[in-house]
Amino acid sequence: MATSHPIAVPDRSGAVLGLTIGAALVTIALTAVAFWLSYEALHDLATGHHLAGARAWAWPATLDSFIVVGELLVLRASLLRRLDLLAMVLVAVGSAGSIILNVVSVGAGVDATTQVVAAVPPVAALLAYTALMRQIYRALTAAEQPAGPRPGARETAAPAPVAAPLTAVTAPALPPMPAAPPALPPAYADQRCAVIRPLYADGYRPGTTTMRTALTTAGYLGPDGRPLSDALIRGTLRAEVERLEPVLATYPAEQALRAAA
């Protein structure tokens, strides 16, 4: 049987980090240039509409700030696993306004190419800033996730679950056995009680048939030579035994014990 070996995976983390940093720097530069071009066009538009000096420079910020603030709020909502509709509205309003006003700034009656050139800076600024926010989001979420196994590395198979031992099938529980009776029974006025008393040694209260059989075997019969009556056996002899030892009356009945067995 051939032995398998883990596949060696080259460590490219350094190259990945370098490309990530390079992409981030290019994105920042592109964002800055695109915002600058768009800002200049909006400044020229403000200057041509009765705004001068500091006001002409401040006016474009009131529009481009919608994009910046909206993107930051979208990033915040993404980190919190939420959906911020207001942030999306800010980005949409700021982007649409910036694109429209950049096209308007070139004046009426110009060809389509001139309008496209005017629309490129705000569109590029929006796309570049969105890409920058996405890189920041990935960097922040990657720091929160635990490091997993490298791609291509062999995974150790999880041990097979150990089957639970089978539970033995138990027989139905018998009625609780009372305490063992005393070894020496008390003295009885009627000696026939001494024949019934040993029958409790099996842990149950003897029935009429069992007591009659024991009495007949011991030679105790009625005046007519027939076995003793049920009333005498239960009401007199067994009652006398249980009167002297009340605990015997709490024993389970002989019929119930045998039925459970």
Q: With respect to residue 174, please indicate whether it lies within any of the assigned structural domains.
A: no
CA 18 to chain centre: 39
Q: With respect to residue 2, please indicate whether it lies within any of the assigned structural domains.
A: no
Return the residue matching tokens 């696993």.
81
Domain count for the chain: 2
Handedness of CA 13, 14, 19, 21 (dihedral sign): positive
Q: What is the pLDDT of residue 48?
A: 83
Considering only 39-48, 159-168, 224-233, which range has the smallest mean pLDDT? Answer: 159-168
Beta bridge partners of 253: 205
Domain identity same for 134 and 32? yes
Cα gap 177→17, rounded to integer Å: 79
* Full domain range(s) for residue 123: 17-143
Considering only 104-108, 142-146, 245-249, which range has the smallest mean pLDDT? Answer: 142-146
Which of residues 177 and 251 earns the better pLDDT score?
Answer: 251
At residue 216, does pLDDT exceed 80?
yes
pLDDT tens-digit map of 69-93: 888 998 888 888 888 899 889 888 8
Contact predicate 115/103, CB 8 Å: yes
Categorize the per-residue pLDDT at 213 as very low, low, confident or very high, splitting at 50, 70 and 90. very high
Considering only 54-63, 151-160, 244-253, which range has the smallest mean pLDDT? Answer: 151-160
Cα gap 105→45, rounded to integer Å: 5
CA 101 to chain centre: 53
Q: What is the pLDDT of residue 157?
A: 55
Domain C-terminal end among 115, 143, 171:
143
Of all residues in the chain, the percent with pLDDT exceeding 70 is 76
Cα gap 73→85, rounded to integer Å: 10
Domain C-terminal end among 81, 108, 143:
143
| 135: its two tokens | 């890189």
Contact predicate 126/67, CB 8 Å: yes
Of all residues in the chain, the percent with pLDDT exceeding 90 is 2
At residue 107, does pLDDT exceed 60?
yes
Domain identity same for 48 and 133? yes
Q: With respect to residue 154, please indicate whether it lies within any of the assigned structural domains.
A: no
Residues 6+ apart with CB under 8 A from 141: 79
Which of residues 157 and 94 earns the better pLDDT score?
Answer: 94
| 104: its two tokens | 């308007």
One-letter identity of residue 7? I
Domain identity same for 209 and 132? no
Considering only 145-149, 160-164, 195-199, 242-246, which range has the smallest mean pLDDT? Answer: 145-149
3-state secondary structure of 205: strand
pLDDT tens-digit map of 136-178: 888 888 766 655 555 555 555 556 566 555 555 555 555 555 5
